[in-house]
Amino acid sequence: MGRVIIDITMSVDGFVTGPNDGPGNGLGDGGRILHDWVFKGTDADKPFLMGEGYDIGAGILGRRTFDIANEAWGDNPPMQGTVFVLTHRPHETVQRGAATFVFITDGAEAALALARDEAAGKDIMLMGADVSQQYLHMGEVDFMTLHVANVLLGKGRPLFAHIGNDPIKLECVHCVPTPSATHMQYSIVKSI
């Protein structure tokens, strides 16, 4: 069975956007600096940009992330295949480039079951802070790549605000510092 993966950029103080993020301001006020490693990166950053080591078969993201990113992505989203969108508001399936966005109103467990069927043994990529938190809290995440940008934002959308009360043990399997970010990869230890 494939892994459930989080691959996300955050500030040293744990924010994935600056304040006031939303449609038209996807990374929030001052948040673009988080992705300097993407736009101004070095050769050491490139393997992380390309997602080396992943075999993605499906994705899951939240409706808010979809609404914000859909505008920025246009017809060229950074993923291919089926991406399940967790939402409370039904919506017709959306085709963008090589990605098909299927809106799911039955909750996180139902979306994960559908993603596992779609992925057929490949990895499932989680996108966005809220979805990442939900699946961490559920104990369903297997692997996490954090691109920690060399910046303190002070405020914004936190990545780990709602992951539950129990510790989540991580095993660092790879760490690469670059001038713009430190790329850290963790396996999630399933029992403490």
The per-residue pLDDT for range 80-99, each reduced to its tens digit, is 899 999 999 999 999 998 89
The list of the chain residues with pLDDT below 70 reads: 191-192
Tokens of 34: 């988080």
Of 165, 174, 164, 172, whose CA–CA distance to 188 is shortest? 172
- What domains sit in the chain, N to C, each tagged with a CATH number? 4-188 (3.40.430.10)
pLDDT of amino acid 79: 84
Report the C-alpha dihedral over residues 99, 105, 108, 113, rounded to 10 degrees.
-70
Strand residue runs (E) in 63-189: 81-86, 94-96, 99-104, 123-127, 143-149, 157-158, 170-177, 181-188
Instruction: Please enumerate in sequence order all residues whose Cβ is within 8 A of that of 15, keeping only pairs 6 or more positions apart, or say none.
Output: 31, 153, 154, 155, 156, 157, 158, 159
Tokens of 112: 């994960």
pLDDT of amino acid 165: 87
